[in-house]
Amino acid sequence: MVNTRVTLSGLTLDNPVIPASGTFGYGYEFAELYDINVLGSFSFKGTTAQARFGNPTPRIAECTAGMINSVGLQNPGVDKVIVEELPKLRQVFHKPVIANVGGFSFDEYAEVCRKLDGEEQVGLFEVNVSCPNVHGGGMGFGTDPAVAAEVTRRVKAVTTKPVYIKLSPNVTDIAAIAKACEDAGADGISLINTLLGMRVDLRRKRPVIANTMGGFSGPAVFPVALRMVWQVYEAVSIPIIGMGGVTSADDVLEMMLAGATAVEVGAANLVDPTAAKKIVEGLPAAMERYGIDDLTTIIGGAHHG
């Protein structure tokens, strides 16, 4: 019998498979298709202080081996998430959940995390620093190590639960940003968010996405994500949640060997709503195929070969 359990900052998961934020709603939509308690956990929809309608449409563009989205953090706002979404989530998911948090100022990040910190089912925070800083000229919080570190400090000051910083790959040195977050008190790092991409409609001769560019995700980004997980593992000593183009149990093992303790599944959920369930079910056989008895023994294993 293989052991699929992993631990993130004291939070033990039955397995390392976690549907990624923005691809799994608040869970209850998928609970109509299967028992989502088979998952290690899941990261719920990115939540901001105020309700957001999101970006103008069209927001989605298909690509070879992937997709581009520019949804724009559409969500009902943290107060409604607490009052309306989390009670429905509790009815179908009986494990700690990951709260994905977005913000457009330091104060907003802190406010949202402070409010969610009191929710018993929230096991840890995943703080998305890819949002544009409205007080900093629109650049993402995650493009500057000092700014990412300040977000980390602000959130850690108002929370009692582990804080994982979700990093953007659209930077020159992701390891430096990860290290700055660790030095500022982050309990873990989550990466990668989407790459920046675009498509042009040949008939209209205009960009497909209303915002011109959006986040590129899907199987095509897996090698980039794997490389960045590898680099961050070399730079920090805190746990990593790896993601980016994961579609199979083999991908999960590869991510873990590169340095991830747990692995998120994103775009695959939009192609097949049961993708994460199938990965969980396929994990024991994949472990046996590669002679792995215990997942905790392979975390970062490729660095020591």
Confidence (pLDDT) at 199: 96
Would you put residue 65 in left (φ > 0), alpha (ψ -120 to 50) or beta? left
Residue ranges of the chain with per-residue pLDDT less than 50? none
Confidence (pLDDT) at 130: 84
Q: Who contacts 297 (Cβ-Cβ below 8 Å, separation ≥6)?
A: none
Which of the residues 63, 113, 131, 181 is marked catalytic? Answer: 131
Both tokens of 122, joined, read: 């929230």
Residues 283, 254: Cα–Cα separation, whole Å: 12
> For the chain, what is the mean pLDDT?
95
Domain residue spans of the chain: 6-55+74-196+217-304
Q: Which of 143, 154, 221 is nearest to 178 (CA)?
A: 143
Overall fold of domain 6-55+74-196+217-304: TIM Barrel (3.20.20)
Confidence (pLDDT) at 156: 98
| Contact between 82 and 116 (Cβ < 8 Å) | yes
| Contact between 192 and 224 (Cβ < 8 Å) | yes
Q: What is the DSSP string of the chain?
A: --B--EEETTEEESSSEEEPTTSSTTSHHHHTTS-GGGSS--BPPPB-SS-B--SPSP-EEEETTEEEE-----B--HHHIIIIIHHHHHHH--S-EEEEE--SSHHHHHHHHHHHHT-TTEEEEEEETTSB-TTTTT-BGGGSHHHHHHHHHHHHTT-SS-EEEEPPS-SS-HHHHHHHHHHTT-SEEEE--PEEE--EETTTTEESSTTS-EEEESGGGHHHHHHHHHHHHHH-SS-EEEESS--SHHHHHHHHHHT-SEEEE-THHHH-TTHHHHHHHHHHHHHHHTT-SBGGGTTTGGGG-
pLDDT per residue as tens digits for the range 6-24: 999 999 999 999 999 999 9
Confidence (pLDDT) at 304: 87
Based on the residue annotation, tell me whether 131 is a catalytic residue of this protein.
yes
Confidence (pLDDT) at 239: 98
Confidence (pLDDT) at 72: 87
Enter the pTM of the model.
0.97
